[in-house]
Amino acid sequence: MFRSLFAGGLAIALVGILGPDAEAQIRLQAGESMLEQGDFLLAPGVQLSLGLADGSRYRLDFSGRRFGSFLESTTMISRDETLKIFPWPEVSARYGVTLLDAYTSYKPQQGKAEEVHDFNLGLSLGLGYRLWQGQDWAINAEWNSQIFAAGFAFLVLTTARKTVFTLGAEVSL
């Protein structure tokens, strides 16, 4: 079921990107990022994003590590849009939704291997700053936060949050 949900999210994103309403001009961005998951620890990651001329953007954030028999990764696919709320063109506010896959696998040398995917749908809120802009290129610093409801505990306002700090290079095509 969760795999279907994940595939569905990907399909929605692709339809949005490749659909007939998509504008001709697109912006591609690739960057290095640091991921924080509520524990004040920073994990290295990567970010790829594709922005359309209407201001919408599809973003992939990934971070993972292997330690011993364990492999864990965090993958987030987000769709966000710009909210024109700041008076400075270099500073941007973004909002959208995020689909999360928190994956952990355990593969011992002997014994049964196990793996688990935890999926969640959350709110994406971001703050960006354009450090430099050329004719087709730009360098951006971003602070994106993904907030997730902690199941039924959200009734008592319990949340989880994943923050991504990114320094990325963007090209307009």
Binding site for other proteins (CB under 8 A): 36-40, 42, 83-91, 93, 95, 123, 125, 127, 143, 145, 147, 150, 153, 156-161, 163, 165
Distance in Å, CB of 71 to other proteins, minimum: 20
Residue 84 or 112 with smaller CB distance to other proteins: 84
Distance in Å, CB of 106 to other proteins, minimum: 20
Q: Would you state the structure tokens that stand for residue 81, as one six-digit string?
A: 């849009």
Residue 104 or 107 with smaller CB distance to other proteins: 104
Residue 35 or 77 with smaller CB distance to other proteins: 35
Q: Considering Cα of 28, then 96, then 14, then 65, what sign does the dihedral take?
A: positive
Distance, in Å, from the CA atom of 38 to the CA atom of 71, rounded to the nearest integer, reads 19
Residue 67 or 88 with smaller CB distance to other proteins: 88
Distance, in Å, from the CA atom of 98 to the CA atom of 144, rounded to the nearest integer, reads 11
Residue 59 or 94 with smaller CB distance to other proteins: 94
b/e per residue 91-127 (b: at least 16 CB within 10 A): ebebebebbbbbeeeeeeeeeeeeeeeebbebbbbbe
- β partners of residue 128: 92, 142
The kind and range of the H/E element at 10 are helix 2-18
Distance in Å, CB of 123 to other proteins, minimum: 8
Distance in Å, CB of 97 to other proteins, minimum: 14
- Which of 4, 6, 1 has the alpha carbon at shortest distance from 121? 6
Distance in Å, CB of 115 to other proteins, minimum: 22
